[in-house]
Amino acid sequence: MRIVIAGGHGQIALRLSRLLDARGGYEVAGLIRNPAQGDDLRAAGAEPVLCDLESASVEEVAAHLQGAGAAVFAAGAGPGSGAGRKDTVDRAAAVLFAEAAERAGVRRHIVVSSMGADPAHQGDEIFDAYLRAKGEADAYVRGCEGLDWTILKPGRLTDGPGTGLVRLEASTGRGDIAREDVAAVLAELVDSSATAGLTLELIDGTTPVAVAVKDVAGN
């Protein structure tokens, strides 16, 4: 299966690429806008694809998605960016990627969102703008009838080693989660079409990743 990851050089995306490459049976492509990042993707087992989601057309992105079995949106403006880029990346790029996936006929669509994302979120700080942008993007994806979408909302991200034990539910409450464990959940979700139509929160927990995904897929 070919998997296309938007934001291919992100910390979660690189971890996901390594996991899928190690499993075998996947051809992973990561969208990046900086060609200097290509070697990092290759080292993670992914094909680097130059595509700037802030300037690309729907047709251009759809061409990169042709033949894929799943699309994962893991892009983000990142820390230090202003409200403008929260809008152009965290909202507009996510919308563009979803629209392109529909156009390319790629039904399985997974979004890495954020706990607290809400288009009606109040506040004037940069993080408030981020949560609104993510919330607006999530709302758009939920309205895409051509996508079998799953929206994943991790808690506060940490860089420590993953435990492989998580809490994955419609509502978990606040908590931390290692990026490594987020990537592990995404790797399971790629093949778990039974989670389509679900918005899930993710924090540290006591349930093995594969079991947690199977549990929510059965609800």
Active site residues per annotation: 130
81 SS3 class: coil
Phi, psi of 195 (to 5 degrees): -90, 5
Nearest to 195 by CA among 154, 147, 137: 147
What's the distance, Cα to Cα, between the start and end of the chain in Å?
A: 26
DSSP 112-141: E--TT--TT---SSHHHHHHHHHHHHHHHH
3-state secondary structure of 153: strand
DSSP for 165-207? EEEEES---S-EEEHHHHHHHHHHHHT-GGGTTEEEEEEE-SE
| Cα 3 off chain centre by | 12
